[in-house]
Amino acid sequence: MTPVIDRIFRSFITQGRLDVVFSDGSRRTYVGTEGPVASMRILAPSVERRLIANPGLAFGEAYMDGLVEPVGCTLYDLLDLLMTNSMQAGHIGEAVAAVIRYGKRTWTQFNPASRSRRNVAHHYDLNGALYDLFLDSDRQYSCAYFPRGDETLEEAQVAKKRHIAAKLRLDRPDLEVLDIGSGWGGMALTLARDYGARVTGITLSEEQLAVSRRRAMEEGLADRVRFELVDYRDVTRRFDRIVSVGMFEHVGVGHYRQFFERVRAILAPDGVMLLHSIGRNDGPGSTNPWIDRYIFPGGYSPALSETFAAIEKAGLWVTDCEILRLHYAQTIAHWRERFAANRDRVAALYDERFCRMFEFYLAGAELSFRVQGHLNFQLQITRSIDAVPLTRDYMVEAEREAAAPPGRRGRARKAGTSG
């Protein structure tokens, strides 16, 4: 242990208690105000040196390589303590690194079409069997919706799709819907099957495209849903409705205005868009360097201020905004539990280092919503001031109607309009 790393830990831990066994066998305890408690062992002097200059990258890499170990606690417990303390300005090395990251974020998030395809392939073109081991059966890889709070993952993902459909105002059959970033096809297939829409889903993932097309054929919906390998910038046809779930995080901050100008160009004059994205409540920032390198290259969770500014410049209306605070934390908690239960099968697909990487990613992602101010937002966007009713009652009524058993849907609508 060097005096420098000791001083950094002393200034960094302002909440909770951290016990550290350093690479030379020495032990230190760092105590702040009341908070989480965890212990760890560092197994190499090189890790201690790297934790001084760039801890946001070094800690995750050291865990992947087995050079940092939780002691008497879980990885989640350790990250809870560290991420809680990272919200303070106690680590000078990280403070400097954050300034540098922010200064070059326009470049790191520069996502022309060719780079976007590579970034998407990095994560979404992994072996499809991996996602079956921790996602729901519909492979919804985005924030679920927990209206009661005790839903199963499957129930919450169905509720999410229902919640979004209600905001799209699918008030007549055969509406033309564009799904930007259509994933494995679950949203597009739901809108066609349950709401009578005609849907075009676009993705940059060849793996997701193949699965989506196969699902459309198997469900007998190929005449109502088609999937294409297309960048949103290349779409020219006009649509009645546009939905985008979990894709805006990959657009890149320098492309926001371009994104919304394209939305305005292809959305019908009386059309409606629903944008569902991860966001942050602390204003513009930058992406954690470990996440950028290993999980979502070119990705960024935008502040609402950045998003609204781009929407305003594109000449669009935000007709509704909802903030989902802890829904994604609950979603990822389900994913972590399922991943842990299938860890041996994941290791058979990849290896131990991959498992450690994915465990670190899921635990850190959940905690970013619990202790670091991340959130999800849903924005309803239109071109026209009068594209949707004056009040949002129609959303509640449509959602209640869709949730009712088939034999009671008319009565559900009547109950929803009587109060």
Do 41 and 175 lie in a common domain?
A: no
Q: Could you tell me which residues are beta bridge partners of residue 323? A: 377
Domain shared by 79 and 124, yes or no = no
- Is 312 a domain residue? yes
Q: What is the side-by-side order of every strand in the sheet holding 68-70? A: 27-31, 15-21, 33-42, 68-70
DSSP, res 303: B
Tell me if 414 is assigned to some domain.
Answer: no
Phi, psi values for residue 121, rounded to 5° = -60, -35
Residue 336 and residue 242 share a domain: yes
Task: Please give the order of strands across the beta sheet that includes 198-203.
Answer: 225-229, 198-203, 176-180, 239-245, 267-280, 374-382, 317-324
108 occurs within a structural domain: no
264: in domain: yes
pLDDT of residue 113: 75
Q: Are residues 344 and 391 in the same domain?
A: yes
Tokens 């409606």: give the residue.
Answer: 272
Q: Are residue 203 and residue 118 in the same domain, yes or no?
A: yes
Measured in degrees and rounded to the nearest 5, phi and psi for residue 34 equal: -55, 135
- Tell me how long the chain is: 419
Distance of CA 128 to the CA centre of its chain: 18
Verify that 14 and 67 share a domain, yes or no: yes
- 316 in a structural domain: yes
DSSP code of 242? E
Instruction: Answer whether residue 333 is part of any domain.
Output: yes
Q: Does residue 366 share a domain with residue 226?
A: yes
Q: Distance (Å, rounded) from C-alpha 252 to C-alpha 274?
A: 19
**Residue 345 falls inside a structural domain:** yes
8 plus 126 within the same structural domain? no
Instruction: Count CB atoms within 10 A of the CB of residue 282.
Output: 10
pTM here is 0.90
The CATH number for 59's domain is 3.30.1050
Question: How many domains are contained in the chain?
Answer: 2
Task: Please tell me whether residues 216 and 312 are part of one structural domain.
Answer: yes
Residues 136 and 224 occupy one common structural domain: yes
Domain annotation covers residue 417:
no
Q: List the CATH number of the domain containing 332.
A: 3.40.50.150
Tens of pLDDT, residue by residue, the chain (419 residues): 778 899 999 999 999 999 999 999 999 999 999 999 999 999 999 999 999 888 889 999 999 999 999 999 999 999 999 999 988 765 655 666 666 566 666 667 667 777 777 777 666 667 889 999 999 999 999 999 999 999 999 999 999 999 999 999 999 999 999 999 999 999 999 999 999 999 999 999 999 999 999 999 999 999 999 999 999 999 999 999 999 999 999 999 889 999 999 999 999 999 999 999 999 998 998 889 999 999 988 889 999 999 999 999 999 999 999 999 999 999 999 999 999 999 999 999 999 999 999 999 999 999 999 999 999 999 999 999 999 999 999 999 999 999 988 655 554 444 333 33
Domain that holds residue 277: 113-403
